[in-house]
Amino acid sequence: MKRSYNIKRTISVKQFVSEFGENFSEHMKKKLLELEVRCVLRRKEETYRLNLKHVEHTQHDCNSKDNSKIYQKEYAYAQFIMIEGILYFSEKCTESSEVVQATIVSEIYNSLNSKDMIIEAGINARKIDDSNINYVIDTILTVCPPVTQGYLDIVAGMTSRSNS
């Protein structure tokens, strides 16, 4: 399989909506953009599967499986999957030595009563649409921390320079 090395691995929510959102309603676009200040999306080779993470990549203490060690890992608050113009919420996020799934992911997934369930490569997902987008985004925002003032200052400094 030939790999594409030209894709951006980390994209903003605004870029996500721009790249994938042509079939999204205006309400879905607006609701997704509420994540813009706090979150970024990260993808690997599968360009249609994206983990939602905090923009500051905050590290949290996580126990090893046998509780013998504590590791610092970043939370993934969701995994969005785009297939044929439809947005899905994955049952599991892609975890690694640096990333662990936030507990809220299972709660959100189990609360979605979407009948459109997909299974691909062992991945279950449920459809996100206008009927459940408010719940998904509002629930993520309850656990995803706000950005720090230091981060806001950096962003303000970058945007003021670009406007000059």
Q: Examine the pLDDT at 63 and tell me if it is beyond 60.
A: yes
Confidence of residue 154 (pLDDT cuts 50, 70, 90): confident
| pLDDT tens string 68-77 | 888 889 999 9
From the list 72, 74, 107, the residue with the least C-alpha distance to 89 is 107
What does the block give as tokens for 72?
Answer: 């610092």
| pLDDT tens string 15-61 | 999 999 999 999 999 999 999 999 999 998 888 999 999 999 888 78
Exposed (0-12), middle (13-18) or buried (19+): which is 157, by Cβ within 10 Å? exposed
Residues 6+ apart with CB under 8 A from 146: 38
What does the block give as tokens for 40?
Answer: 């970024």
Q: Is the Cβ–Cβ distance between 19 and 11 less than 8 Å?
A: yes
Distance CA 48, CA 84 (A): 10
Q: Where are the domains of the chain?
A: 10-162
Name the residue with higher pLDDT: 66 or 5: 66
| pLDDT tens string 82-121 | 988 999 999 999 999 899 999 999 999 999 988 667 777 7
Q: Examine the pLDDT at 6 and tell me if it is beyond 70.
A: no
Q: Examine the pLDDT at 5 and tell me if it is beyond 60.
A: no
